[in-house]
């Protein structure tokens, strides 16, 4: 069981790292979105709130000259609204 948890944690970290690299270093918005989507789902399954927040923010990507569909924008907003209250106020 512990081995499975460690594997999922590594997979989550890899998805976040790959998403960040695709977004900021490679400028590949589609690859970044795929990896951040994967990271969000993995983080949600493991109740890793900070990783969910990072993935949701990564899903926002770069909006400069990018075409967005309404469904993507709605999905992003829903994820951000879901994770924000889970983060708390940071005073704890």
Per-residue pLDDT, 7:
92
Per-residue pLDDT, 14:
98
pTM of the model: 0.79
pLDDT at 91 over 90: no
Contact 35, 22 (CB under 8 A): yes
**Closest of 18, 17, 32 to residue 62, by C-alpha:** 32
**Strands (E) located in the chain:** none
Using CA atoms, how far apart are residues 50 and 54, in angstroms rounded to an integer? 6
Per-residue pLDDT, 15:
98
Using CA atoms, how far apart are residues 54 and 73, in angstroms rounded to an integer? 17
pLDDT at 83 over 80: yes
Using CA atoms, how far apart are residues 92 and 79, in angstroms rounded to an integer? 23
**66 three-state secondary structure:** coil
The string of pLDDT tens digits covering residues 20-69 is 999 999 989 889 999 999 999 999 999 999 999 999 999 887 664 455 67
Per-residue pLDDT, 92:
47
Mean pLDDT for 12-19 is 97
Mean pLDDT for 77-84 is 88
């Amino acid at each position: 069981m512990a081995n499975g948890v460690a594997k999922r944690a590594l997979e989550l970290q890899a998805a976040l790292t790959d998403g960040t690299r695709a977004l900021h270093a490679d400028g590949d918005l589609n690859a970044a979105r795929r990896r951040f989507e994967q990271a969000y789902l993995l983080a949600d399954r493991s109740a890793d709130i900070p990783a969910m927040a990072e993935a949701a923010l990564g899903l926002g990507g770069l909006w400069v000259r990018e075409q967005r569909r309404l469904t993507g924008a709605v999905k992003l907003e829903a994820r951000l609204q879901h994770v924000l209250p889970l983060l708390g106020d940071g005073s704890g």
